[in-house]
Amino acid sequence: MSFLHSPLRAFLLLTVLSGLCFSPVYAQDTDAEEDAESSSEEAVDVEPLPLEELQVLAEVFGTIKSGYVDEVTDVKLLRNAIKGMLTGLDPHSAFLEPEAFKEVRISTEGKFGGLGIEVTTEGGRIRIVSPIDGSPAADADLRTGDIVTRIDGKLVGDDLAKAVDSMRGEPGTRIVLTISRKGESEPLEVPLVRAVIKVASVRGEILEPGYGYARISSFQSSTANNLRGQIEKLVRENEAELQGLVLDLRNNPGGVLNGAVQVSDLFLEDGVIVSTRGRGNKEVSNESAKPGDVLKKSPLVVLVNGGSASASEIVAGALQDHKRAIIMGTKTFGKGSVQTVIPMNNGSALKLTTSRYYTPLDRSIQARGISPDIVVSQTQVAEGQSNRGVRETDLQGHLPNGQPSIEENSDSETAPVVIEEKDVAASDESASELLMADFQVREALNLLKGMSLVKSNLANK
């Protein structure tokens, strides 16, 4: 085809010249889900752009401009092309429009508008990773693995950014999500009211005298300080140092990388917490712990499940590798990649996967997850059914693990140990409501008691 639209001709000319003589500047990775604040001056060798493929791009562009049923602007076509470049890489890279970029920055500070829901793309569908505690999504009982098929009656495709934009809106406005849920024969119509989500990322309580519980629902820049404050509050309520703590990271979709590093550092005295490696397996960062254990070496049990992702897996992996905590629950999601949000000149941004992270023992958990030390399912699984939730490895186009010796899709680890749930006696006034309702928390408390007893016996000897 000889037709070449003039704006595109100029665009392609600039692109070709860039490919031949310009070395791009890459922003340095700072926090997962945060914007990069600086850039690297290191030059990167770039291959010349393929002219044949550029010709195809020009032909497609021109054909759409002249033959599409409705008139379409150059801006829309170019924006769609940009989005396609990002979404074709992996499920977590995306183009953020200016408004979406603003909300990402707000969310890292713990306040944003919407439904309070973490979503991703899988097999051309919008899948829920996890609702945030206290959000409209959590109150409506939306669950990990639910598929959003319609928003206000309109079909949802695989455009994650468009779906997220549709779910955002002014606080107080109503929205209806149509949900496809495993085990349900008919779609579920779920009405919600948008709200300003003020995420209380940490909460806690005393389970029994001497034993505390702290839950982190997402990782923000202030999470470590909030957790330290929560533990100090529990110590005051207990009127003595804690004999053990349950740290609950279940259904925690992640957040800022520094938040995960700082939370891990609260319990570790020294050693590597996490390292990240970018293109060519080159190390980008290496974070280490500083002296000081907020629990004073008291036993720690960390609860995880299939909704524990990203920053949650950094914490679980670091504490597991240093043998500082027992990891209990079910296998985690397996999102072992770091996304850097890189601002563009027009107020938009790229959320780009820039590195994989590795645990202290050099494990990449991308598309693999953290396997608990003790596998405990929340409820008994019926014979012939699986309690395996959706994980990173199930997402279409997921980033490979990066360690060839690891079989990414392998589920060869020990099958989950399903412990039959036993009721807590209603007359047991010392049991908190959480213990009454949550089987995994009860098992974690029992384990803490055993660990504390062993520690005491060893000290007496």
Given this model, what pLDDT does residue 34 score? Answer: 40
pLDDT, residue 386, reads: 43
pLDDT at 4: 44
Provide the percentage of residues in the chain whose pLDDT is more than 90.
Answer: 54
196/137 Cα distance (integer angstroms): 12
Segment 274-300 mean pLDDT: 95
- Answer whether residue 375 shows pLDDT above 80: yes
Q: Higher pLDDT residue, 49 or 372?
A: 372
pLDDT at 2 over 70: no
Does residue 366 contact residue 402 with C-beta atoms inside 8 Å? yes
47-51, 195-199, 279-283, 353-357: the lowest-pLDDT one: 195-199
Summarize pLDDT for 213-227 with one digit per residue, the tens: 999 988 988 899 999
- Give the integer Cα–Cα distance in Å for 369 and 393: 9
User: Which of the four pLDDT bands, split at 50, 70 and 90, describes residue 106?
Assistant: low
Q: pLDDT per residue over 225-237, tens digit each?
A: 999 999 999 999 9
Bigger pLDDT: 412 vs 378: 378
How far is residue 49 CA from its own chain's centroid? 34
Q: What is the mean pLDDT of residues 155-173?
A: 85
Whole-model pTM: value is 0.70
pLDDT at 407 over 80: no
- Return the residue matching tokens 């470590």: 224
Per-position DSSP letters for 422-444, written without gaps between them: -PPPTT-TTS-HHHHH-HHHHHH
Query: What CATH code would you report for 202-337+355-402+411-460?
Result: 3.90.226.10
Instruction: Encode pLDDT of 174-191 as tens digits.
Output: 999 999 999 999 999 999
Would you call 122 exposed, middle or buried from its count of C-beta atoms within 10 A (0-12, 13-18, 19+)? buried
- Mean pLDDT for 4-33 is 41
| 35 DSSP 8-state letter | B
Number of CB atoms found within 10 A of residue 317's CB:
27
User: Do the strands 117-122 and 125-131 form a parallel or antiparallel pair, or are they unpaired?
Assistant: antiparallel
Q: Is the pLDDT of residue 99 over 70?
A: yes
Map out the domains of the chain as residue ranges.
56-87, 111-198, 202-337+355-402+411-460
In terms of average pLDDT, the best of 5-9, 36-40, 308-312 is 308-312
Least confident of 29-43, 111-125, 154-168, 192-206: 29-43
Whether pLDDT at 160 is above 90: no
Q: Which residue has the higher pLDDT, 405 or 76?
A: 76
Q: What is the pLDDT of residue 215?
A: 96
pLDDT in the model for residue 23? 27
> Quick check: do 111-198 and 202-337+355-402+411-460 share a fold?
no
Q: Are 165 and 98 in contact (CB under 8 A)?
A: no
Residues marked as catalytic: 310, 321, 335
Q: How far is CA 132 from the centre of its chain?
A: 11
Nearest CA to 206 out of 178, 174, 246 is that of 246
Q: 111-198: what fold?
A: Pdz3 Domain (2.30.42)
Cβ contacts of residue 336 below 8 Å, gap of 6+?
310, 313, 356, 357, 358, 364, 365, 366, 367, 368, 392, 401
Tens digits of residue pLDDT in 19-78: 333 323 333 333 444 434 433 444 456 678 888 998 999 999 999 999 999 999 999 999
Average pLDDT over residues 438-454: 94
For the chain, percent of residues with pLDDT exceeding 70? 78
